[in-house]
């Protein structure tokens, strides 16, 4: 059963996703990044190349022929994702990932807009009702709630 972490109140959710992904990759983890749409997937792809000058986070689309060899995968909720690995799933989409139970860990990143908070509360309740181990963090203060 995966452990679920919620990062609430993120000022820039995509930047936070890059930071957490780089840290996970440096620790030997494999990450699947799920975003709302293709445009956001493109922005995240660009951010992973540029967010930190000396960082290198190898990543591709989950539909790439190189997906099984690449530690970080990106896809949108609009696509029916088939992830090549199931270590960590970072969800930045407003809905519940359909395949979250197959991952070792799930990280939900929620921005500051009210439109993001309501669906996040619903996802929190869903995970909790299923009995998952839950942790919540304030993304701005970088502390556990």
What is the value of pTM for the model shown? Answer: 0.94
Domain housing 133: 8-144
Task: Tell me the C-alpha distance between 143 and 145, whole Å.
Answer: 6
Task: Tell me the C-alpha distance between 138 and 113, whole Å.
Answer: 14
Which span out of 58-62, 75-79, 97-101, 139-143 was modeled with the highest average pLDDT? 58-62
- Is the residue at 41 inside a domain? yes
Structural domain count, the chain: 1
- Is the residue at 19 inside a domain? yes
Compute the C-alpha angle 108/111/137, nearest 5°. Answer: 55
36-75 pLDDT, tens per residue? 999 999 999 999 999 888 888 999 999 999 999 999 999 9
CATH code where residue 99 lies: 3.40.50.10110
Residue 1 has pLDDT above 80, yes or no: no
Contact in structure between 136 and 35 (CB atoms under 8 Å): no
Residue 13 pLDDT: 97
- Is the residue at 48 inside a domain? yes
- Is the residue at 47 inside a domain? yes
- Is the residue at 83 inside a domain? yes
- Is the residue at 2 inside a domain? no
- Is the residue at 131 inside a domain? yes
Tokens of 97: 């990932």
Task: Tell me the C-alpha distance between 141 and 76, whole Å.
Answer: 28
What's the whole-number mean pLDDT along residues 9-22? 97
- Is the residue at 1 inside a domain? no
Residue 128 has pLDDT above 90, yes or no: yes
Task: Tell me the C-alpha distance between 90 and 105, whole Å.
Answer: 9
């Amino acid at each position: 059963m995966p452990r679920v972490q919620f990062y609430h109140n993120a000022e820039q959710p995509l930047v936070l996703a890059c930071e957490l992904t780089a840290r996970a990759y440096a620790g030997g983890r494999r990450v699947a990044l799920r975003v709302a749409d293709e445009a956001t997937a493109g922005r995240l792809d660009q951010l992973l190349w540029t967010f930190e000058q000396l960082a290198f986070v190898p990543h591709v689309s989950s539909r790439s022929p190189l997906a099984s060899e690449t530690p970080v995968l990106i896809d949108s909720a609009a696509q029916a994702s088939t992830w090549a690995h199931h270590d960590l799933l970072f969800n930045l989409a407003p809905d519940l990932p359909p395949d979250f139970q197959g991952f070792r860990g799930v990280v939900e990143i929620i921005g500051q807009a009210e439109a993001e908070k309501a669906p996040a509360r619903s996802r929190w309740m869903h995970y909790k009702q299923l009995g998952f181990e839950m942790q919540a963090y304030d993304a701005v203060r970088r502390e556990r709630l």
